[in-house]
Structure 1
């Protein structure tokens, strides 16, 4: 049972996308609802433990929520992108995909050691990208204080893996299954 049924009701489920057997949780319907989107941001802000220096958003939908959170928190916005998408000097971290590997990156000078960072994405499933982002941030000396997601798919284990990595994880809604 989700703790925010009003927000869960605003997230559309699309069966068999992107392939048969998958229940795609579409946050675009939440974003279209101005009150729902505002409520989501308010509740995410309320769950943050203490001051934050940077909100790190994971490409691409994580940017939406990270930017919206950075404003009321008075924090900077750190972009974590697919490798090769950022200009200048970057640091990168590789991670496993279902069929191969990928890399995410951030600017090498984006985070000073000791900065209090909130890691944000729209959805946590298996956790591969989020765990790579956590490793990347920690490598730069960041104090990652929490990871926040709008949607958690707990059956896929990503949030549990982040917790096993020593990170506080918060999600507004959770949906069973894939």
Structure 2
């Protein structure tokens, strides 16, 4: 069985990636599964891509095995693209997403008609509205997320590459 380490401690991301790569018989582990809880990577890039590369290279140097990294976040046009690359640590590492989400909604009061709903998501999923399905990311089933999300599109490309290069 093939194995890939995901350079993330976010269990929501790990779950999505496992669901997408399971059909390829790839065993997905988080960096914490392999290196324990003391993994600390300084994400000092200026873009999502730079931070993903920083994470992948850092973990790969430690484990000498294939590593997949993802760096994503929420960019709100009305807030000058905030929270952006700081999405996870915006308002502090220990600040709950309930508080972060409410802060965004409060800042957008009167500009857009947001609502919080759903239980299937994590992070900003409860306030990320996807018009084609008329629901938030948190309201989507795993199958819907794996059909439409940016992460799913990237994983489909990886899946296709791995299938073609067995």
TM-score, structure 1 length as denominator? 0.26
The answer to which structure, 1 or 2, has the higher relative contact order (CA under 8 A, 6+ apart) is: 1
TM-score, structure 2 length as denominator? 0.27
Larger helix proportion of the pair = 2
- Structure label with greater radius of gyration: 2
